[in-house]
Homo-oligomer: A and B are copies of this chain.
């Protein structure tokens, strides 16, 4: 089996991406800590998911320089986390400048050393809050950088299996594959019970609702969304 590096934040999208990748590849799990507010809870989710899929090759990298650089409500406590607004046009305050390029670069360095051929990332273009680095054209451009910036004999490609899915489709797909949603964590604000109000909670809860399923994790508040 060929190896693949899977970026596992511990959220729902990375969980379903890991489930998809693990069907065809020997998974190596990569997790990033970058001083995000819910870092500890995400790290627990990462390890729980890795245990579930019996992944022995795990790498955890601390990139808290992103918190030092700042510019995001995810890492800077002086910037308020945006409340969910499904009709918002501008990029939310949780956007971490150029975060995914930082993360992918690490993944490529690791993939080149362990001889992995693919890098799986659970980016979602649709309702993913308008982050510029979650779009397919961004990953296409990054694949060109990989081809040019690694050894000629290296062949590494970023794979985004859920990029064009809607949240409810991701949830249905995960449910079909028995992905353990109870182990995943999405909330940007809390570490014990999910808040139910941040962008990430709102997208998750609305997705479960549209999929006709119940999210197994605990919430402080479970809003109902109009379809």
Contact = CB atoms under 8 A, between A and B. Distances in A.
Contacts of A70: 113
A149 to B, nearest CB: 4
B149 A100 contact: yes
Contacts of A141: 141, 144-145, 148-149
Contacts of A100: 149
B132 A101 contact: no
A112 B121 CA distance: 23
Interface residues of A, number: 42
A112 B99 CA distance: 11
Interface stretch (A36-44, A103-111, A205-213): A103-111
A61 interface: yes
Majority secondary structure, A binding face: helix
A59 B67 CA distance: 13
Given A61-B65, A106-B65, A149 B112 contact: no
Contacts of A68: 59, 61
B148 A145 contact: no
Leading 9 A-B pairs by shortest Cβ distance: A71-B113, A97-B112, A133-B149, A101-B105, A102-B105, A61-B65, A98-B109, A138-B148, A98-B108
